[in-house]
Amino acid sequence: MNKFLILLMVGSISLAQPKGKKLVWEENFNGTQLNEETWNVELGNGCPSCGWGNNERQLYTYENHQLVNGKLVITAKKEGAKYSSTRITSKGKKEFQYGYFEAKAKLPIGHGVWPAFWMLGANIDSVGWPKCGEIDILEYVGKEPDIVFTSLHTQDSHGNTINTKKTKIETIEEGFHVYAIDWTRDKIDFFVDKQLVYTFNPENKTDATWPFNQPFYFLVNLAIGGNFGGPEVDDSIFPQDFSVDYIRVYQ
Q: Which residues pair with 59 in a beta bridge?
A: 84
Looking at the annotation, which residues are catalytic? 134, 139
Q: Is 165 within 8 Å of 135 (Cβ atoms)? A: no
Q: Is 188 within 8 Å of 100 (Cβ atoms)? A: no
Q: Is 141 within 8 Å of 228 (Cβ atoms)? A: yes
Q: What is the DSSP letter of 11?
A: H
Q: What is the DSSP string of 17-79?
A: SPTT--EEEEE---SSS--TTT-EEE-BS-TTSGGGGTTB-EEE-STTEEEETTEEEEEEEEE
Q: What is the DSSP letter of 61?
A: -
Angle formed at CA 200 by CA 126 and CA 193, multiple of 5 degrees: 110
**What span, in angstroms and rounded, lies between the C-alpha atoms of 33 and 109?**
25
Q: Is 242 within 8 Å of 74 (Cβ atoms)? A: yes
Q: Is 45 within 8 Å of 51 (Cβ atoms)? A: yes
